[in-house]
Structure 1
Amino acid sequence: MNKTVNINLAGIFFHIDEDAYLKLQGYLEAIKRSLANSQGSDEIIADIEARIAELFNERVQNNKQVIRLKEVDEVISIMGQPEDYVVDDEIFEDEPHTNSSQKTHTKKKLFRDADNAYISGVSSGVAHYFGIDAIWVRLAWILLVFGLGTGVLLYILLWILVPEAKTTAEKIMMTGEPVNISNIEKKIKDGFENVSQAAKNVSDSVSQAAKNVDFKKSTNSIKSTSRTFFDSLADAVMLLFKIFSKFIGILLIFIGAVTLIALIISLFSVGVADIIHIPGFENIDILNIGNTPIWLVSLSIFFAVGIPFFFLFYLGLKILINNLKSIGNIAKFTLLGVWIISIICLIVFGIRQASEHAFNESYIKKTALPITAKDTLIVKMVHSHKFNSKRRHNDFKLTHDDHGNKVLYSSDIRVMVKSTTDTIATLSVIKNADGRSFDAAIARAKNIDYHYAFTNGTLLLDSYLTTNAKNKFSDQEVDLVLYLPENTVVYFNSNTKDFIHYRTHDDHLVSSKNTNHFIKILDNNSKCLDCPDWEEDDINIEVSTPEIKIDNNGIKVDSDEIKININSEGINIKSNH
Structure 2
Amino acid sequence: MKKNISINLQGMIFHIEEDGYDVLSRYLAEVKTHFSGYRGHEEIVADIESRIAELFAARLSGLKQVITLEDVEAMTAKMGRVSDFQTADEAEDDEEILAEAVASGSAQGTYTGSRPSAGYSAGSNAKSATTAAAAEEEDGTKRLYRDMANRKVAGVAAGLARYFAVNPLWIRLGFLALMIVFPILLDGTPLENFSEKLPAISVLTYIILWVVLPTRFDGTPTDEDPVFKKLYRDTDTGKVGGVSAGLAAYFKTDVVLIRILFIVGLFAGGFALPLYIILWILLPEAKTASDRLRMRGDAVTLSALDNNLRNSPFEEGATPVNNRPVGTFLENFFTNIRPLINLLGSAIRVFVGGVMTITGFFLLLALLIMLGVGLGMIPESDNVFMGPLPAYTFFNGLSPWAVVCFFLMTAIPALALLLAGLGLLLRRTILTRTASLTLLGLWLLGIVGSSVAGTRLAREFQHEAEVTQSTNLSPLTSAQLVLDRRYSDNGEWVDLDLVPVDSGQTPRLERIISAKGATEEDARQTAATSVAHSIRMPNDSTLSIDDHYTFQPGARFRGQEMQLRLLIPRDRTFRMNESFSNWLEDDNYVNGRAPIHPEQHTYRLRGSKIECIGCTEEDLRGDSNDGGYDEPNADYEAGQADADTDSTDTDMHINIHTDEDGDNVRVDVESKAAQFSADPARYGSGRRSFADLRDFSRIEASGAYYVHVRQGNEFKVEAAGSDRDLRRLRVTRDGDQLVIRSRDVGFMPSLSFSQHPVLIRITLPTLRVVELSGACRLNAAGFQNEDLKVEQSGACVAALDVNVPNLSIDMSGACRTDLTGQATFLSVDASGACQLNALRLPARRAEIEMSGLGKAKVRVREQLRVDLSGDSDVLYAGDPDNVQQELSGSSHVTKISDSE
Q: TM-score range by the shorter chain?
A: 0.3 to 0.5
Structure-2-length-normalised TM-score:
0.30
Report which of the two has the higher share of strand. Answer: 2
Considering Cα pairs closer than 8 Å and 6+ residues apart, tell me whether 1 or 2 has the greater RCO: 1
TM-score, normalised by the number of residues in structure 1: 0.44
